[in-house]
């Protein structure tokens, strides 16, 4: 249980400075500096100011401002933030995973977001990752994010975007790989079961051509 006068270590999870107001204006406000080489820059903030910030802003809920590791769960509990129920917010880590591993589920998540701020964060994180020139970023994902942002800025909360599923895997190839794996397993299997299973495998794949190299 934190008291009003307790100092809590918080930090900005993103690469920009976040200004947090102080309840007492004469004391000046808190400046949460960006991370340095991925290391959080902790600033002690009075608990009463955290409560105030959470009252007037979305940044704690959106986990742009984060708490030092071991006290985070307790702080969320006391601020009445139920992360299971908060479906529209993602941490920076989650956003980056989403961007770097795009799939149809990720697109569905993006289309169901109802908060412009979240979409803007995702988009700017995407651009930032793209600018590093270290990753392949899916263009389809970027198009969906931009389209959703446009929808939200027009005030369309329930999306009209349709997701066309991506057929990025050639199914025939997958079957081939599975069969090859099966055959190889059989060769390692014990002698007694060997003939029976081999027949089954052959029945499954009558036209399969295994390369001579594999058979050896």
Partner 1 sequence: MENKIELSEVLAQDPKAMLNWAKNVCQKVELSEAEKAISTEVNGFVADAWKFGNTQARESIAQLIGKIIEPEVFGEPNEILSQIFTESSYGEFDIVKITRSPKNTLIARQSAPRTGNVDKSYIDISVGTAYEEHLQIETELKMSDLRRDGAFGVATLSLMAIEEFNRTKFKSMLNYVDTLIVNGGENYFACTGTLTKTAVDDFTGYLDDNCLNGGNPEVVGLSNKIRELSTAVGVSDFYSEKMKDELNSTAKLQVYRNSFLVPIKAGAKNGKGETLLPNDRLFGFSGIIGEMYTKGEMRTLVTNDNQNETISLKFTGVEFGVFVDKIEKVAKIVIS
21 binds partner 1 (CB under 8 A): yes
Q: At closest approach, how far in Å is the CB of 124 from partner 1?
A: 4
Strand partners, 67: 10
97 binds partner 1 (CB under 8 A): no
Quote the CA–CA distance of 51 and 26 in Å, as a whole number: 19
Quote the CA–CA distance of 146 and 214 in Å, as a whole number: 47
Q: Where are the beta strands (DSSP E) in 21-96?
A: 30-32, 43-46, 65-67
> Among 46, 53, 119, 183, which residue interacts with partner 1 (rule: CB under 8 A)?
53
Nearer to partner 1, 146 or 202 (CB): 146
Q: What angle do CA 13, 17, 23 make, to 5 degrees?
A: 100
58 binds partner 1 (CB under 8 A): yes
17 binds partner 1 (CB under 8 A): yes
The burial of 174, by beta-carbon neighbours within 10 Å (0-12 exposed, 13-18 middle, 19 or more buried), is given as: exposed
Q: At closest approach, how far in Å is the CB of 161 from partner 1?
A: 19
15 binds partner 1 (CB under 8 A): yes
Question: Interacting stretch for partner 1, rule CB under 8 A, among 62-70, 78-86, 181-189, 193-201?
Answer: 62-70
HSE-CB of 189 using CA atoms within 13 angstroms:
14
**Residues binding partner 1 (CB under 8 A):** 12, 14-22, 25-26, 28-29, 31, 34, 53, 55-59, 62, 64-65, 117, 120-121, 123-124, 127-128, 153
């Amino acid at each position: 249980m934190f008291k009003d006068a307790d100092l809590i270590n918080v930090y900005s999870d993103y690469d920009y400075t976040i200004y947090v107001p102080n309840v007492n204006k004469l004391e000046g406000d808190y400046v949460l500096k960006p991370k340095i080489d991925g290391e959080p820059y902790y600033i002690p903030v009075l608990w009463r100011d955290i409560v105030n910030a959470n009252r007037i802003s979305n940044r704690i809920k959106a986990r742009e401002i984060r708490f030092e590791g071991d006290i985070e769960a307790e702080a969320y509990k006391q601020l009445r933030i139920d992360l299971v129920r908060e479906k529209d917010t993602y941490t920076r880590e989650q956003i980056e995973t989403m961007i770097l591993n795009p799939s149809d589920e990720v697109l569905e998540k993006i289309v169901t977001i109802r908060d412009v701020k979240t979409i803007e964060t995702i988009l700017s994180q995407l651009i930032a990752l793209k600018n590093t020139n270290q990753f392949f970023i899916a263009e389809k994902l970027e198009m969906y994010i931009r389209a959703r942002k446009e929808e939200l800025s027009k005030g369309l909360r329930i999306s009209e975007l349709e997701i066309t599923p991506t057929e990025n895997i050639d199914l025939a190839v997958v079957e081939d790989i599975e069969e090859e794996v099966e055959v190889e397993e059989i060769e390692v299997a014990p002698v007694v079961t060997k003939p029976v299973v081999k027949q089954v495998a052959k029945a499954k794949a009558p036209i399969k051509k295994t390369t001579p190299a594999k058979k050896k």
